[in-house]
């Protein structure tokens, strides 16, 4: 029986260090720009031949950059849905589509080399039927009626206790064998999709934080909430298969994760769905990639860094990038999207895919 050694050893001190912007200087060599001028490139996948696929999420596009040729758009969504969740396996590109306003619509597709599109899952339909986090309670529990009433109406959403809602936003995909795994940022779950259909592999645990004065003021809450426990939705953002066969999932931490280092990395066992916390104290983790030797790369959106942690070693800053989005590893290189996240449309698109060489 092959020994399965966990990846991403818990290094909370080192990871928390990054969240407070006290980490050492970046170690990566200068990158090559694979493609630039992109709108909201939040997902990247690299094929074995070096072809790079990148989503322009809010423009509803997938762009292909094949070595030696000019980048070209290979898919444009007619329904103007958000397109993302790219992964490449078995000569096919997997991607997700989620409605941007209007009626709910969330699907997972494959796109083959001939441009043939095939739907492999309707995650919104599955979520409506099952809502696996429906029994989880989010928000601040234990508030008196008078305290609840004193919370401004505009600030109650996500604060007053509620059960997991029926909503789907498939954000990331990966494949192993005949199964495609999907991290759903709205359902707070990891789906497993195969020829037999869609099933819930795992539900990620809520984020927990004590309501401090800082949190209270940030969310516009009354003093009676201070000291209570705030349970936020985990919001999984990426899923990757490690060389040990397990899945590794990053979670953003919902609204709390936009201002506090409450993001995490979880290991999920494909056979059982068992969820194990591997690292916490991360500030807005968005993407994860793992090399064949177990070196892990994690992009942190708001600190603007990509972390590197060799198997059994300490976490360090690999690269400093404004608002890094997704990250992928292929043939000794790390590919990172520069998301242009803060661009409100008043400036030319500045999103890009950067390619960093590595030594492992």
Q: Which stretches of the chain score pLDDT less than 50?
A: 1-23
Q: Which domains does the chain have, with CATH numbers?
A: 12-357 (2.120.10.30)
- Per-residue 3-state assignment (H helix, E strand, C coil) for 91-127: CEEEEEEECCCCCCCEEEEEEECCCCEEEEEEHHHHH
Residue 2's pLDDT is 29
CB under 8 A, 24+ apart: contacts of 243-246? 243/7, 243/290, 243/291, 243/292, 243/293, 243/294, 244/4, 244/5, 244/6, 244/7, 244/294, 245/4, 245/176, 245/270, 246/4, 246/6, 246/7, 246/270
Residue 281's pLDDT is 92
Residue 24's pLDDT is 52
Q: What percent of the chain has pLDDT over 70?
A: 93
The predicted-structure confidence for 125-153, as pLDDT tens digits, reads as follows: 999 999 999 999 999 989 999 999 999 99
Residue 298's pLDDT is 97
Residue 255's pLDDT is 84
The full DSSP string for 34-100 is EEEEESS--EEEE-TTS-EEEEEGGGTEEEEE-TTS--EEEEE-TT--EEEEEEEETTEEEEEEE-S
pTM above 0.85, yes or no: yes
Residue 346's pLDDT is 79
Residue 151's pLDDT is 96
Residue 311's pLDDT is 82
């Amino acid at each position: 029986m092959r020994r399965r050694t966990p990846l991403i050893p818990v290094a909370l001190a080192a990871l928390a260090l990054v969240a407070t912007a006290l980490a050492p200087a970046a170690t990566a060599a200068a990158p090559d720009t694979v493609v630039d001028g992109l709108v909201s490139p939040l997902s990247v996948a690299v094929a074995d031949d070096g072809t790079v696929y990148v989503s322009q999420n809010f423009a509803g596009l997938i762009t292909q950059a094949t070595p030696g040729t000019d980048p070209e758009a290979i898919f444009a969504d007619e329904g103007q849905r958000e397109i993302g969740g790219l992964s490449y396996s078995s000569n096919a590109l997997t991607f997700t589509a989620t409605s941007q306003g209007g009626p709910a619509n969330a699907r997972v597709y494959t796109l083959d080399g001939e441009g043939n599109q095939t739907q492999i899952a309707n995650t919104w339909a599955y979520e409506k039927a099952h809502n696996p986090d429906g029994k989880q309670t989010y928000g601040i529990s234990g508030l008196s009626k008078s305290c609840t009433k004193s919370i401004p109406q505009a600030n109650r959403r996500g604060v007053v206790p509620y059960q997991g809602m029926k909503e789907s936003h498939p954000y990331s995909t990966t494949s192993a064998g005949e199964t495609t795994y999907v991290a759903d940022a709205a359902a707070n779950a990891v789906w497993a999709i195969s020829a037999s259909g869609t099933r819930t592999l795992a539900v990620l645990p809520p984020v927990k934080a004590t309501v401090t004065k800082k949190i209270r003021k940030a969310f516009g809450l009354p003093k009676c909430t201070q000291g209570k426990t705030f349970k936020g939705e985990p919001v999984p953002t990426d899923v990757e298969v490690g060389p040990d066969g397990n899945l590794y999932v990053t979670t953003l931490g919902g609204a709390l994760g936009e201002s506090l280092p409450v993001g995490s990395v979880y290991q999920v066992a494909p056979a059982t769905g068992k969820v194990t916390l591997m690292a916490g104290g991360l500030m807005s983790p968005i993407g994860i990639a793992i090399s064949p030797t177990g070196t892990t790369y994690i992009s942190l959106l708001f600190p603007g860094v990509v972390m590197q942690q060799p198997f059994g070693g300490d976490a360090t800053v690999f690269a400093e990038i404004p608002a890094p989005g997704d990250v992928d590893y292929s043939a000794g290189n790390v590919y990172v999207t520069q998301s242009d996240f803060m661009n409100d449309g008043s400036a030319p698109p500045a999103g890009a895919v950067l390619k960093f060489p590595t030594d492992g």
